Amino acid sequence: GKSTTAAVLGAHVAIYEPGSLVLIVARGDRQAAELFEKLDKTHQAAPGAPKRTTDSAREIVLENGSRIVCLPGSAETIVGYSSPRLIIIDEAARTKDDVYKSVRPMLSRSPKGQLFLLSTAFGKRGFFYEVWSGKGNWRRFGPIKGSEVHDAQFLEEERLEMGDWWFDQEYNCTFLEGVDSVF
């Protein structure tokens, strides 16, 4: 549901706010491409949406001047964009802090610019944990517990297979100390 929600938000901005720049970032290229594909399909399904003027695996340009760009999570290669209307960081808990700190300044010249972080928990570390724990002026949504979307038998099998540490983070949005922590 997180990726679908982000795809709808990104497509909405690109379609209904002409000239907008939407950036999709994730730790890995495959993750960013997956969300990019969902956003593309959402755009194509929207009635009356402006047509694409490009056909690229990494960028969509619409007739209304909006652009959607897919970027891998590397601080060295994502800098250079200015005034994005929306930046989406997928699997933010697994994305490196330097990526987060590299995209934030891009919003400085964008009065309506928004940063949208989505993720499951992944330890008590990094910018996503800090944001989720109350640092900064953020609107937080969730978590949706596994029991709200999966049946009890499936969840019990998952708990047995994964162990409590992985299960609680993945299905209960619980931030836990790293499994390799000494203290």
Residue 127: alpha-carbon gap to chain centroid: 13
pLDDT, position 8: 93
Contact 50, 64 (CB under 8 A): yes
Smallest Cα–Cα separation from 3: which of 55, 44, 41? Answer: 41
The gap from C-alpha 52 to its chain's centroid, in whole angstroms, comes to 23
| Half-sphere exposure at residue 19, Cβ-oriented, CA atoms within 13 angstroms | 4
DSSP string, 78-118: HTT----SEEEEETGGGS-HHHHHHHGGGGGG-TT-EEEEE
pLDDT at 183: 46
- Spatial contact of 177 and 166, defined as CB atoms under 8 Å apart: no
Q: Give dist(CA 80, CA 122) in Å, integer.
A: 29
Q: Could you tell me whether strands 21-26 and 114-118 are parallel, antiparallel, or unpaired per DSSP bridges?
A: unpaired
- pTM score, whole prediction: 0.84
List per-residue pLDDT tens for the chain, 183 residues long. 788 889 999 999 999 999 999 999 988 888 888 888 999 999 999 999 999 998 788 899 999 999 999 988 788 888 888 899 999 999 898 899 999 999 999 999 888 999 999 888 888 888 988 988 887 788 877 666 666 777 888 888 888 998 888 888 777 777 777 655 544
Place of tokens 């593309």: 40
Largest CA distance in the chain: 57
